[in-house]
Amino acid sequence: MRESNVAILGAPLDLGAGRRGVDMGPSALRLAGLNPKLNSLGYTVDDLGNVAVEQQESTPSLVENARYLPQIAATCERLAAGVRNAMDKGKFPLVLGGDHSVAIGTVSGVSEALRSRSEKLGLLWIDAHADMNTPESSPSGNVHGMPLACCVGKGPKELTGIFGYSPKVDGRNVAIIGLRDVDIRERPNVRESRVTPFTMRDIDELGLLKVIREAIGIVTNGTAGFHLSFDMDFVDPMEAPGVGTPVRGGVTYREAHLAMESICDCNGMVSMELVEVNPVLDEANRTALLAVELIMSAMGKRIL
């Protein structure tokens, strides 16, 4: 890794999801031993705790096609400030979700830190879903289906305009890996955004390693590095049952580790987040345990 100091930020947000429980994701990951395991790899770990998040029970949803929009925007602004501050201090931000809408805050913070140095960010989005809905296309109004669209400048200004500019990343420097569930009205957003999608069919036909290498080439082309946004539903639910929106047909246990090891090998990752661990739906915390294993592979753990 470029930085030996890791700053952990929890984002226990579940306002963007349709099911409760992902707000406990950061606690589940810490309980699975994340911090001492990072220490064992030689990292200095600064756990900054959790950003403040409003609870569904005490706050109304006033925008039905982008549910809890003001509350999510406020959380993402706080998270963005924390991420930027960590990077300005020379630390590697590791964000623990929460639902995937937290990526709006993480990517905003990383993008702003690099922008202040006149540098560009790439974005590697690993997910069963494209997350490129807008309020106009979303069938549910759940913001966790919109974060990638917001990162490339499509969506509510409360989310796209953090730090006063948009987009946070050029679509030509974005690659999505693992797609297998994309809404019909969302598909034009993917095609028009200039991002590069790799579906599960691409992985089946080309092999995961080739897909990862092609994606890394896209997200590092002319950038100072890339942010990795990893949704645990990339992994098949047989291996990771405790996720917010499980979809059959994901990658295997070993393929998931290969993806993370290959990402580490390229030495281009400048920040990372892992999202959508839902302990309510899990079995004896095994999804969180796998998530920590995958983080460790991305951060440099090897078999030998």
Residues with a known catalytic role: 100, 127, 129, 131, 144, 231, 233, 276
Count Cβ atoms below 10 Å from residue 208 Cβ, excluding itself: 22
In which element (H, E) is residue 151 found?
Answer: helix 147-151
At residue 246, what are phi and psi to the nearest 5 degrees?
Answer: -70, 145
Tell me the pairing of strands 174-179 and 92-97: unpaired
Bridge pairing between strands 196-199 and 92-97:
unpaired
Q: How many Cβ atoms are within 10 Å of 139's Cβ, its own excluded?
A: 12
For residue 266, report the phi and psi dihedrals to the nearest 5 degrees.
Answer: -75, -15
The first and second tokens of residue 116, run together, are 């202040």
**DSSP notation for 19-81:** SS-GGGHHHHHHHTTHHHHHHHTT-EEEEEEE-----GGGS----TTSTTHHHHHHHHHHHHH
171: its two tokens: 């679509």
Measured from the Cβ of residue 128, the count of other Cβ atoms closer than 10 Å reads 27
Question: How far, rounded to the nearest angstrom, does the alpha carbon of residue 46 sit from its chain's CA centroid?
Answer: 20
Which one, of 45, 32, 201, 218, lies nearest residue 122 by Cα?
A: 218
